[in-house]
Structure 1
Amino acid sequence: MPDIDAVNAEILTLLQEDGRMTNAKLSEHLGMSETPCWRRLKRLEESGIIEGYQANLSRRKLGLGVMAFVQLRCSEHDQAATAEFQRIVETTPNILACHNTTGADDFLLIVVARDLDDYSGFVDSTLRRLPGVTSIRSNLSLKEMKASSKLPVSAASMK
């Protein structure tokens, strides 16, 4: 695992801002030559700190106007039910995230849909059919005040 020193922290911060930044531009921002910059970047990728690169899309411009936070409670927790639940969640594109949580509910999902009718259909066709689900509670987002996948990176916070 590479050390997250100030230079590596800056590389991670810059790439979170612009994942398409070239090595030449990255090294220019850092004030270092391209070869050591490239080596650092490769170490960050190979260690798994950088998991991949992707484009950030506008869900609204893609027609996905509804975002729901869904709390699920399950009665079955055996290995087969859990594996089937996980398989369905992982292969359902409308489910952006799923977390196994503490508290009264077992899972928290983030789900997107075109509109309320589409979301209602998704609840009936997918969520109600998940193995062992005994309770579904949805909270619809009225206004997205912040959405980010950027992690706070600093050399000091990584020690």
Structure 2
Amino acid sequence: MPDVDAVNAQILSLLQNDGRMTNAKLSENLGMSETPCWRRLKRLEENGIIEGYQANLNRRKLGLGVMAFVQLRCSEHDQAATADFQRIVETTPNILACHNTTGADDFLLIVVARDLDDYSTFVDSTLRRLPGVTSIRSNLSLKEMKASSKLPIIPPATS
């Protein structure tokens, strides 16, 4: 990990657990003064290692009870169709993630909806209208056993 020494790894771990942690509290946890801590934090942000901060929301309490993993197969792979596909995916709030994958299918999407009727409407009104889509396969989540956006922070080996 470039620019991630043991101290930066600690900063990243602490912030993944509490993104609202103040610089004063962060420096206290690290046992260092505030100014060098702030400089390290700013460098991690400037280098794009920290991309931003956000609140983690409970989708069920917001009425989004259905989560689906959707595999799409496409017949068109030219630049224009791919750009249209990407634009639609990026601007559709129900699609939380989209990955171009290997294997039989071209894309894997993570989609949320209020209920099964809402998901059915989403498939008909959005997914079936994506450019070049020839196959849609959905797997509905029955039980979410782990959900995290936290990345493993492995400090560099010391010699």
Structure 2 length-normalised TM? 0.97
The one-character-per-residue Cα deviations of 1:16-73 (angstroms, maximum 9, x if unpaired) are 0000000000000000000000000000000000000000000000000000000000
Q: Distance in 1 between matches of 2:138 and 2:4?
A: 39
> Paired residue for 1:115?
115
Q: Is the 8 A contact 1:74 1:106 kept in 2?
A: yes
Distance across 2 between alignment mates of 1:20 and 1:79 = 41
Alignment-derived partner of residue 136 in structure 1: 136
Question: C-alpha separation between the residues in 1 aligned to 2:53 and 2:87?
Answer: 24
> How far apart are residue 3 of structure 1 and its match?
2.0
In structure 2, list runs of 5 or more residues that go unmatched. none
Give how far 1:15 is off: 0.3
Corresponding residue for 2:6? 6
- Give the fraction of aligned pairs with identical amino acids, expressed as a percent: 91
- Runs of at least 4 residues of structure 1 off by over 3 A? none
Alignment map for 1:1-159 (pairs within 5 Å): 3-156=3-156
Rounded Cα–Cα distance in structure 2 between residues aligned with 1:136 and 1:50: 34
Q: Over aligned residue pairs, what C-alpha RMSD do you find?
A: 1.1
Determine the C-alpha separation between the residues in 2 that align with 1:47 and 1:149. Answer: 20
CA contact (8 A) 1:2 1:47 kept: no
**Structure 1: unaligned runs, 5 residues or longer:** none
Q: CA deviation at 1:156?
A: 2.5
Separation of aligned partners in 2, 1:130 and 1:3: 40
- Give the 3 Å change call, closer, same or farther, for CA 48–27 of structure 1 in structure 2: same
In structure 2, how many angstroms separate the alpha carbons of the residues matched to 1:154 and 1:41? 17
The TM-score, its normalising length taken from structure 1, stands at 0.97
The residue type paired with residue 124 of structure 1 is D
Give the drift of 1:155.
Answer: 1.4
1:109 counterpart SS class: strand
User: What is the identity, as a one-letter code, of the residue corresponding to 1:83?
Assistant: A
Aligned positions, number: 157
8 Å Cα contact 1:10/1:154 also seen in 2? no
Residue 154 (structure 1) shift: 1.9
